[in-house]
Structure 1
Amino acid sequence: MNAAAVLRPVVDAALGTDLPVRVDCWDGSSIGPSDADVVVRFTNRRALRRLVWAPNELGFARAYVSGDIQLEGDLLDALTRLDQLADPERGPGVRVGPDTRAAVARAVVRLGALGPPPRPPSEEIRLSGHRHDRGRDARAVSHHYDVGNDFYELVLGPSMVYSCAYFERAPSSSYTLEDAQRAKLDLVARKLGLTPGMRLLDVGCGWGALIVHAAREYGVRAVGVTLSQPQAAYARSRIAELGLQDRVEVRVQDYRDVTDGPFDAIASVGMAEHVGLSRLGEYAAHLHGLVSPSGRLLNHAIARRPGPPGDPRGDRTSFIDRYVFPDGELHPLSTVVDALESAGFEVRDVESIREHYADTLRAWVGNLEQNWDAAVRLSSAGRARVWRLYMAGSALAFQSHRLGVNQVLAVRPGPGGANSLPRTRSGLLGVPPG
């Protein structure tokens, strides 16, 4: 009997008989419609063993990253179909009851897939030490960001901006990711009210796009901090190329060690996700101490849906934690606002740009797929698969409202509550009246 015939009862027990994808097995047999647009290919028995030992997203991720499972066709479409199958509100739902477990046990024995758990792919990491201490945070950042500047340039494009873009028009050949990233940088600068001579701190400055933009277009003096040596080297090279050394400084430094305030404005774009709930109050208080009275903070961060930490809908997933953002924690918007207000900030504006991140991630997936061979050469096949799965899955999460992303603008009130903010939202965004 072929592998597909043995696995068919498992699929039927878990997902039902009406399967909209095709499952190809290592012996050439298949389950599902022959003309399916999406194909899940088990390249060997080890794929099944990985799923038996970790019957969840981590087992699937290990199998995909290692190449034991391949997804053929449009990955976003594939994940959408698989997500619909697993969601009881839109598909049959995954049913893991006695029948499913019995079917799995019989299949494993008949296919000779018994054995110890396979070694995880080399791209998987588990950190040691105290969560969110300086040393562990530095190792977490290095795991994610020190893949190589050339690799990131393939994925992110020339802007080298690794955060949600701002699509003022629908994505098209005439309005690209680069246009939307410039619009995002400008949106942040306008919300912060940047003017010539101001001093800006960019917490988690990445490859320096915001501090360069702020210095060139708004005439500020900027300091950017990052924990990544390769990021800092890239940013410093770009700054020197543009002749901005007298106005822009990049440091390899933990934000908690920045003590040379005050700054007129602070940007934190895509960095608060690394802080952790236990450190969120400390983060907000430290930034409050660094910004001058009447100065503004723009906190741009991914948000999860409300619920307790560790909730299945919650702050992190096993795949993300092991392969992408070790120790990353996402917080509900209300938690972030509470932390900022408790530190003494006055929150003045909140903007959700969730749909923009879905478009951004689709563009990054497209860049990676178009440059796949180069991406593998610059990193590894497993690392490229990690990024493809992570970005495609994240696009689906933002599109379906499982994740959000918000820009929270806050001000440190001056004496008597004074601040320099315009009286209207259109004024805040620099929109001419009328």
Structure 2
Amino acid sequence: MPIKVPNNLPAVDTLTKENVFVMTDARAMTQDIRPLHILLLNLMPTKIETETQLTRLLGNTPLQIELELLQTGTHKARNVSQEHMLAFYKTFHEIRNNYYDGMIITGAPVELMEFEEVEYWDELCEIMEWSKSHVHSTFHICWGAQAALYYHYGIPKHVLQKKLSGVYEHHLDYKNGMLFRGFDDVFYVPHSRNTTVNREDIEAVSELKVIASSPEAGVFAVKSENDRQIFVMGHSEYDWDTLLNEYLRDKKAGLDPAVPDHYFPEDDDTQPPVVRWRSCANLLYSNWLNYFVYQSTPYDISTISREDLAPALQERADLKVAKFGGTSLATAVQFQKVAGILREDPARRYIVVSAPGKRRKDDVKITDMLIECAGNPELMDQRFIDITSRFREIVRGLKLSFDLDAELEKIRRDYEQNGSDAFLISRGNISVRGSWRNISGRILWTRQN
């Protein structure tokens, strides 16, 4: 599925050449799909590069994403044209009444400053507070992660003796977590920073869990107990040459930087870098979007401010909703299988059922018969005979005592009274518990109990 971005965003040309499916505003308007609304607060000076890196990762998922770009109003970008900022970026004042499924807060080159000394710190604090009631899940990167840990939990950052720069080996501290589902036991992530947070400070906060770390780079990924806050210290979104360009920039400035660790073959900076983090980066963002955003965000995102969320995937669920389609309810034998599945787990207390589907290739689905009846009273008698025959076959096969004629007559009478085609057609798809309103559900409930 594509990621939806503003028309004419510079990243579109780059990503299209890389076969990343990017959809512009104009094309998305023709689709009737609820996209995920993702807000990107881009604090990096290299705006376009960061936009491209993150858009590339967000677009490499089976979900449709609608991306909005946010800038701080209290700081004016110096490394990108104001035309670009005005064309593609909004300020907090413009979006503060909106709700978002997810949000990304990037790093920033201000880590050697105290948080309170940063020009836009007060505005960032306001945005982070706002995110708790207007964003379903927030993904913080590098300095953005350190700033959020400090703001939300009072965890300080510490200056390193020397800059941490390179590509480092990582492992999972919590192997059952969904954020790193599918990861290898060892994976690699680029880092480029002068500060860190201490593991003991994080572990002293009961609401936080360290889920991945590195022997050399320290804590890498942390999540809140309710999964709505993700803190990542590295830069898995980096391009193959991002560290190279930083290294060459610092050399040109006469800063005598150390060669980035584990980046060049045998630390030879005349050789092309070895890329070992790209697959992990794609999987990390896909997992966040899928398990921490898409799977648990409310369809009506305006309800985010009122939601009381459990973790994205609980180890034990007390309530489950089961859905069975037409083929699984086509015959008495299929009904028996479904009833067995429901009895296996007491948590399966709500069931969404469809009308019986095809028993064989040349058969007709019950829903298709109902569609034919809608608006065609001359077909009503014959089709209801066919529908009755199908259900009687199922009832006899299950050896049930079931007042089939009364049930069908009620559906027909209700349709004739209210004249709603949608009512008639929808008799095949209803979600209920205990009190069924369509025949498939009534039979299944009887069979299960």
| TM-score normalized with structure 2 length | 0.29
Greater C-alpha Rg: 2
Higher strand share: 2
Question: Which protein, 1 or 2, shows the higher relative CO under an 8 Å CA cutoff with sep ≥ 6?
Answer: 1
